[in-house]
A = this chain, B = another copy of it.
Amino acid sequence: MAKRDKISMSVIRRLPRYYRFLSEIQSDGVMRISSKELAEKMRLTASQVRQDFNCFGGFGQQGYGYSVEQLRSEIESILGLHEQKRAILLGAGNLGRAVASHMAFEPKGISLIGIFDRNEELIGTTLRNVKIDSTDELEQFCAKYRPNLAVLCVPKDAARQLCKRLYAFDVRYYWNFSHYDLAADYSDVVVENVHMSDSLMTLCYRISDDIEARSKSE
């Protein structure tokens, strides 16, 4: 297994799905799986699966199927889940709470080391065993603990202002739930956006398409 230089984002975006699926069948006790079975379960073609894996130099021997544990562990390594990251969460409202309480950070190499909010009622309380601090403390915290990853669960304008402050402290990695378009302002950050409203609008499109198709077939 070897990382190649230019792997398309569409291949990369399928890796977490492989990883999730392999983790699941492994915990169900499955030891080996063929590319055909894997493809069927994931609704891809076997050739697609083989092509995806070839981007990383291929895994295992196709004839005998893949070792689930080996495949899972190699994808884990490609995904860089072993890389240790120090994360802070900005915004401890409903969305921040949902993210903090639902996400399995540790298996992805992420330590959540700080949570910040400007709501006086939240400051001093804890979330996932982490004390919520005032955003006024952000600079002091960053200087001391050097986080490198920030999870943005604040509104757009707050996100813009906070990123400016975080960028000054070399925070370059962002998991962004806000509508603030970070990449437009900073060319050297790595940002992964979760735009829930875009997903909902895509669903609306597909519903409307489905309604149209049904009405035509009637």
Interface residues of A (CB under 8 A from B): 3, 12-13, 15-17, 19-20, 41, 43, 78-81, 83, 85, 93-95, 97-99, 101-104, 108-110, 149, 172-173, 175, 179, 183-184, 190, 192, 194-212
In the assembly, what is the distance between CA of A83 and CA of B201, in Å? 11
- In the complex, what distance in Å separates the CA atom of A13 from the CA atom of B200? 10
Interchain CB contact under 8 A, B94 and A101: yes
Report 6 cross-chain contacts, Cβ distance below 8 Å, ordered by A residue: A78-B205, A83-B207, A94-B102, A108-B204, A109-B204, A110-B200
Other-chain residue from B108, B195, B204, B211 in contact with A200 (beta carbon distance below 8 A):
B108
Residue of B78, B81, B109, B202 near A13 (CB, 8 A) is B202
Collect the chain B residues with CB atoms within 8 Å of residue A97's CB: 94, 97-98
B13 touches A198 (CB 8 A): yes
Residues of chain B lying within 8 A (CB to CB) of residue A179? 20
Q: Which residue of B lies closest to A192 (CB)?
A: B203
Q: Which residues of B sit under 8 angstroms from A17, Cβ to Cβ?
A: 195, 198
A contact patch SS: helix
In the complex, what distance in Å separates the CA atom of A3 from the CA atom of B104? 41
Whether A16 pairs with B149 at a CB distance below 8 angstroms is no
Given contacts A95-B102, A102-B95, A198-B20, contact A83 B204 (CB under 8 A): yes
Q: Do B202 and A192 touch across chains, with their CB atoms under 8 A apart?
A: yes
Of all A-B residue pairs in the complex, the 7 with the closest CB atoms, nearest first, are: A80-B208, A16-B198, A16-B201, A192-B203, A98-B98, A94-B98, A95-B98
- Which B residues touch A104, using CB under 8 A? 197
| Contact status B94-A209, CB under 8 Å | no
Minimum Cβ distance to chain B for residue A27 (Å) = 12
- Whether A190 pairs with B207 at a CB distance below 8 angstroms is yes
Q: Considering the chains assembled together, what is the distance between the CA atoms of A81 and B207 in angstroms? A: 10
Given contacts A15-B202, A173-B203, 11 further A-B contacts (CB under 8 A): A17-B195, A81-B201, A94-B94, A94-B98, A95-B102, A97-B97, A109-B204, A173-B207, A190-B210, A192-B202, A194-B196
